[in-house]
Amino acid sequence: MEYVGFWMRVIAYIIDSIILEVVLFVIGYAVAMGTGEPMMMMMGGPLMSIIGLVIGLGYWSVMESSAKQATLGKMIIGAKVTDEAGNRISFMRALGRTVAKILSTIILLIGFIMVAFTGKKQGLHDKIAGTVVVHAG
């Protein structure tokens, strides 16, 4: 298995973040129009925070446990998520990996920076979930 490095994973994350922001903007706009709330109030409000969390958890978990084993960003860079033996991961493992990214973020992004310094290019969330990001194909 050829592991995907830090900078390629950053590019995939940026692509995924842009996609999710566009989706959340459209949802926020629709909710704002339906409720009559100003768009800026809606985007920074608790409802959109909850919607964003649910959509983010769902996006990464569903996509990484799907037959493609990758988010759209990972597909674009030619990567996929597997277990350490190279097998497709379950939805629950993908969800655990996604939730573990919160821990990787809380500790000043060190959990993500670990990718650049570990042999299998694993972040803390990968180590917790027993996953690796490898080149697809």
Q: What is the pLDDT along the chain (137 residues), one digit of tens a residue?
A: 999 999 999 999 999 999 999 999 898 888 888 888 777 766 778 888 899 999 999 999 999 999 999 999 999 999 999 999 999 999 999 999 999 999 999 999 999 999 999 999 999 999 999 999 999 97
Residue 89: strand, helix, or coil: coil
Helix runs in the chain, H state only:
6-35, 39-43, 46-65, 72-77, 91-106, 110-113, 124-129
